[in-house]
């Protein structure tokens, strides 16, 4: 009887420890690393990240900027902070995008700046304060006023100071 | 036989004649009056010139440094170079009593020439003579200033100067004619980088106008619209890029208009409005803006044809009946045509504003239209929605663009306004400012005053 009670206690304790660990990981945003909890959101996140990664890692790649734009909007919607370092790398890109011929052209600024603008909005959505320097760099250097305004608003939203 | 003139009288006479000759000769070199054109004979001009103007560089106060938009470099000096054949224009901003200065080098064609007096006749009264010396085949730079002032007006001048020279032992002779295009702009440019094309175009379009910002801005807009020197609708988002390739999108067009008016000393604000979702629920007002106009400088549309589901009847909004593409009996007319489409939430349109005499005038270079009065009481910044956009929409936007494409509720034949599956294109004229105090349209404005 004692053996059975001990086994039951051990199982209960194990369950409590596992549950606590799951709650803790969830709070830290680490729930997504648990394979058993892989969800549709993870798949969407990975697919969106892959589209952005191409733009960041291969400056010569010809891309459909609208598709990448939609991918960043998806990241904004998912609000997963793991996207922040990649988006900060996108902000650092200077080489203009090579876009597929079938892409419609944006009106107010070039395709790269359109992506950077929505990347900045996404960094605000995930509260990526650690990426403030990257946004400040865009604010100081861009010659496109719509992007500059987006960067200025983001700096203020993340608690930074907009200076001339 | 006794002479009629005593020796001393002859001596005095000879001395006086000699002195007159010497003084006359000296004067001919030092202060010789400029001969008139009539003083030069055909025989003189028929001779091969012994020297000729080979390089002419414009200089002096008010000279505008012009840039090549493709290289980013200043237009090379000297503007005129006989050997290379280059003959670029020069530009000054207008002022009372502005004289043209040129620095000139002369090329020696006769190796025996070591010195000459050179002058020019022609535009702006020509240039008074100056001494030119040769130690090699080309003289040092010699600076000339025009006898007369350049007219104080926005003007294009086709200057021509007939150069003459007097070389020791020879009469005055023609040594060449040079022709130059000169522009006088309205005021000093407002930008540090002034593009050659913009000087040329805007001076021609604003020629003869008074110093009036609106008249000049109107003339520049009309000039772009009438000539098609640049086109809207292809890649190009800054002035240099558009001037170099000839194509651009609205973000670049607003920069071109800013730089074009700044070339004449007229300031306009630059502004972009970004389409945002005005709906707080499941609808999306609006996904994009649809524009049918060909755009500046175009006679056909550069973008692909697409299906437009047009809602034109005011009674159909806000819940149009849409029974499908094949239906003729609903609120939606189907059309396949070429159109520009600018997407929310990041894209929109860019324009310029001129603040003049207490009013704001909107100019839209992308489509070659303006001035549009009555859009705003003051320059727009930040988010504007609903009734805030009323004057802007009524006095400009509803005319300038054709449809707003939105994900809005429609009746698919069930009698209920619950379908959201197909995006519809609603004539912007029939979209009210607000419905039940909820704004129907929202734009974020970025403006550089």
DSSP state of A28: T
- How many residues are given for chain A? 164
Q: What's the CA gap between B406 and B408, in Å, rounded?
A: 6
Q: What's the CA gap between B99 and B95, in Å, rounded?
A: 9
- pLDDT grade for B22, boundaries at 50, 70 and 90: very low
Contacts of A105 in chain B (CB under 8 A): 233-235, 249
pLDDT at A91 over 90: yes
Residue B249 has its nearest CB partner, among A66, A107, A146, at: A107
Q: Which residue has the higher pLDDT, B36 or B430?
A: B430
pLDDT at A15 over 70: no
- Distances from the Cα of B162 to the Cαs of B52, B118, B128, in angstroms? 11, 11, 12
- Distances from the Cα of B189 to the Cαs of A66, B32, B64, B198, B343, in angstroms? 39, 41, 8, 11, 36
Q: What's the CA gap between A162 and B16, in Å, rounded?
A: 86
- Report the range of poorest mean pLDDT among A26-30, A48-52, B190-194, B321-325: A26-30
pLDDT of residue B72: 97
Q: How does strand B359-364 pair with strand B434-435?
A: unpaired
pLDDT digits (tens, 9 = 90+) for B284-341: 999 999 999 999 999 998 888 999 999 999 999 999 999 999 998 999 999 999 999 9
Determine which helix (DSSP H) or strand (DSSP E) holds A119, and give its type and residue range.
helix A111-125
Contacts of A107 in chain B (CB under 8 A): 249-251, 340, 342, 347-350, 366
Beta bridge partners of B255: none
B30-185: which CATH number, 1.10.287, 2.70.50, 3.40.50, 2.40.50? Answer: 2.70.50
pLDDT of residue A162: 82
Structure tokens at A149: 């305004």
Beta bridge partners of B180: B159
> Which residues does B325 contact at the CB level (< 8 Å), separation at least 6?
B307, B309, B334
Residue of A nearest to B444 (CA): A146
Q: In terms of pTM, does the model score above 0.90?
A: no
- pLDDT grade for B254, boundaries at 50, 70 and 90: very high
Contacts of B341 in chain A (CB under 8 A): 104
- For residues A107-113, average pLDDT: 97
pLDDT at B21 over 70: no
Q: State the CB neighbour count (10 A cutoff) for residue B310.
A: 18
- For residues B7-15, average pLDDT: 56
- Distances from the Cα of B129 to the Cαs of B25, B34, B38, B290, in angstroms? 16, 7, 17, 65
pLDDT of residue B26: 37
Contact with chain A for residue B250, Cβ under 8 A: yes
Check: CB of residue A68 under 8 Å from CB of residue A51.
yes
Residue B237 has its nearest CB partner, among A109, A118, A149, at: A109
Contact A110 B237 (CB under 8 A): yes
* Contacting B residues, span 338-397, partner chain A, CB-CB under 8 Å: 340-343, 345-350, 366
pLDDT at A164 over 60: no
Q: What's the CA gap between A119 and A87, in Å, rounded?
A: 6
Contact A108 B272 (CB under 8 A): yes
pLDDT of residue B31: 38
For all residues of chain B together, what is the average pLDDT? Answer: 91
- For residues B91-96, average pLDDT: 96
pLDDT of residue B10: 55
Q: Pick left, alpha or beta for residue A67 (phi over 0 → left; psi -120 to 50 → alpha; otherwise beta).
A: alpha
Would the ipTM clear 0.90, i.e. be above it? no
Locate the domains of chain B by residue range.
Answer: 30-185, 272-448
Residue of A nearest to B447 (CA): A145
Residue B274 has its nearest CB partner, among A69, A108, A144, at: A108
State what percent of residues in chain A have pLDDT above 90.
Answer: 70
Q: What's the CA gap between B205 and B209, in Å, rounded?
A: 9
- The residue among B346, B381, B445 with the most chain A CBs within 10 A of its CB, best to mutate, is B346
pLDDT digits (tens, 9 = 90+) for B33-67: 444 444 444 445 556 889 999 999 999 999 999 99
Q: What's the CA gap between B258 and B353, in Å, rounded?
A: 9
Contact A146 B251 (CB under 8 A): yes
Contact B235 A105 (CB under 8 A): yes
Q: What's the CA gap between B76 and B183, in Å, rounded?
A: 17
- DSSP line for A11-74: HHHHHHHHHHHHHHHHHTT-GGGSGGG--HHHHHHHHHHHHHHHHHH-TT-EE-HHHHHHHHHH
- pLDDT grade for A2, boundaries at 50, 70 and 90: low
pLDDT of residue B361: 98
Check: CB of residue B214 under 8 Å from CB of residue B356.
yes
Site of tokens 């001494």: B131
For all residues of chain A together, what is the average pLDDT? Answer: 87
DSSP state of B317: -
pLDDT of residue B171: 87
Cα torsion at B400, B402, B404, B408 (round to 10°)? 150
Contacts of A118 in chain B (CB under 8 A): 345-346
- pLDDT grade for B75, boundaries at 50, 70 and 90: very high
> Which residues does B330 contact at the CB level (< 8 Å), separation at least 6?
B320, B321, B322, B323
Contact B349 A146 (CB under 8 A): no
- For residues B267-291, average pLDDT: 96
Nearest-neighbour CA in chain A from B194: distance (Å): 17
pLDDT of residue A90: 98
Nearest of B319, B326, B316, B343 to residue B404 by alpha carbon:
B343
Structure tokens at B243: 């001037």
Q: Which residue has the higher pLDDT, A79 or A28?
A: A79
Check: CB of residue B375 under 8 Å from CB of residue B396.
yes
pLDDT digits (tens, 9 = 90+) for B334-386: 999 999 999 989 999 999 999 999 999 999 999 999 999 999 999 999 999 99
- pLDDT grade for A23, boundaries at 50, 70 and 90: low
Q: State the CB neighbour count (10 A cutoff) for residue B312.
A: 16
């Amino acid at each position: 009887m004692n053996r059975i009670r001990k086994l039951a206690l051990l199982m209960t304790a194990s369950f409590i420890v596992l549950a606590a660990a799951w709650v803790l990981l969830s709070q830290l945003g680490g729930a997504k690393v648990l394979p058993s909890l892989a969800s549709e959101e993870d798949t969407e996140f990975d697919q969106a990240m892959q589209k952005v990664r191409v733009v960041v890692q291969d400056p010569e790649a010809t891309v459909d900027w609208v598709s990448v734009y939609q991918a960043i909007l998806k990241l904004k919607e998912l609000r997963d902070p793991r996207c922040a370092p990649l988006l900060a790398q996108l902000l650092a890109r200077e080489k203009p995008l090579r876009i597929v011929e079938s892409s419609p052209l944006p009106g107010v600024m070039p395709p790269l700046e359109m992506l950077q603008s929505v990347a900045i909005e996404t960094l605000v959505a995930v509260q990526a304060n650690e990426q403030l320097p990257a946004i400040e760099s865009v604010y100081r250097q861009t010659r496109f006023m719509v992007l500059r305004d987006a960067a200025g608003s983001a700096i203020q939203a993340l608690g930074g100071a907009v200076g001339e | 036989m006794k002479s009629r003139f005593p020796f001393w009288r002859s001596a005095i006479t000879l001395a006086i004649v000699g002195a007159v000759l010497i003084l006359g000769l000296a004067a001919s070199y030092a202060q010789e009056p400029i001969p008139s054109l009539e003083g030069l004979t055909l025989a003189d001009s028929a001779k091969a010139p012994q020297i000729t103007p080979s390089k002419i560089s414009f200089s002096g106060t008010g000279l505008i440094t012009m840039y090549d938009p493709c290289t980013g470099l200043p237009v090379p000096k000297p503007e005129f170079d006989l050997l290379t054949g280059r003959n670029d224009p020069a530009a000054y901003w207008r002022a009372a009593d502005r004289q043209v200065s040129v620095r000139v080098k002369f090329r020696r064609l006769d190796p025996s020439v070591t010195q000459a007096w050179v002058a020019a006749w022609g535009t702006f009264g020509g240039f008074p003579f100056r001494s030119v010396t040769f130690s090699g085949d080309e003289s040092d730079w010699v600076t000339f200033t025009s006898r007369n002032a350049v007219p104080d007006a926005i003007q294009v001048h086709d200057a021509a100067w007939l150069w003459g020279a007097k070389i020791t032992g020879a009469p005055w002779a023609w040594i060449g004619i040079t022709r130059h295009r000169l522009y006088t702009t309205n005021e000093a440019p407002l930008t540090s980088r002034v593009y050659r094309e913009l000087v040329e175009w805007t001076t021609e379009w604003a020629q003869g106008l008074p110093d009036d910002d609106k008249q000049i801005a109107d003339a520049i807009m009309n000039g772009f619209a009438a000539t098609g020197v640049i086109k809207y609708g292809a890649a190009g988002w800054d002035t240099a890029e558009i001037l170099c390739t000839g194509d651009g999108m609205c973000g670049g067009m607003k920069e071109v208009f800013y730089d074009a008016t700044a070339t004449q000393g007229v300031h306009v604000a630059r502004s972009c409005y970004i389409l945002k979702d005005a709906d707080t629920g499941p609808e999306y007002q609006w996904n994009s803006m649809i524009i049918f106009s060909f755009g500046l400088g175009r006679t056909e549309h550069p973008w692909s044809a697409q299906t437009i589901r047009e809602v034109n009847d005011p009674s159909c909004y806000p819940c149009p009946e849409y029974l499908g593409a094949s239906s003729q009996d609903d609120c939606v007319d189907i059309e396949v045509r070429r159109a520009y489409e600018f997407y929310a939430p990041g894209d929109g349109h860019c324009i310029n504003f001129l603040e003049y005499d207490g009013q704001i005038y909107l100019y839209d270079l992308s489509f070659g239209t303006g001035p549009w009065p009555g859009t705003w009481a003051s320059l727009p910044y930040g988010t504007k929605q609903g009734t805030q956009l009323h004057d802007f929409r009524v006095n400009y936007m509803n005319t300038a663009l054709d449809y707003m494409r939105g994900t809005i509720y429609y009746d698919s034949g069930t009698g209920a306004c619950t379908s959201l599956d197909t995006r519809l294109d609603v004539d912007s004229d029939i979209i009210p400012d607000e419905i039940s105090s909820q704004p129907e349209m929202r734009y974020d404005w970025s403006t550089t005053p």
